[in-house]
Amino acid sequence: MKRRTSGEDGRNLPPSREEIETLCILHAIGLHGCQADDLATLLGLSPGLASAVAESVQPLISLGWVDLNDNHFSLTDAGHQWLKQRRSALLDRAT
């Protein structure tokens, strides 16, 4: 997954759909983590989508942004930093 967050001239680009989904997933996992089976519900989706949502987290695990241990998702330091920096950049862009 390639994350584009700034244009060639250094200005922030609007977030892509993929980036919005990533922001939502990382935010839902949160600082304390969550059970993999609960992530769909935390995202406002049907609990029946738990396995599909858990599968969508796999690229974030590959990037090193999320850990999965004993069916529990948690943010890594890198995931937390990316989320914090990107939210800040988007808020700055809005002002």
- Tell me the per-residue pLDDT of 47-81, one tens digit each, with 9 for 90 and over: 999 999 999 999 999 999 999 999 999 999 999 99
Q: Answer yes or no: is pLDDT of 3 > 80.
A: no
Question: With contact defined as beta carbons under 8 Å apart, do 13 and 6 qualify?
Answer: yes
Locus of tokens 């988007």: 90
CATH code of the domain occupying 17-94: 1.10.10.10
Mean pLDDT over the full length of the chain: 88
Sign of CA dihedral 51, 57, 62, 66: negative
**Cβ atoms of 5 and 86 closer than 8 Å:** yes
For the chain, which residues make up each domain, given as ranges?
17-94
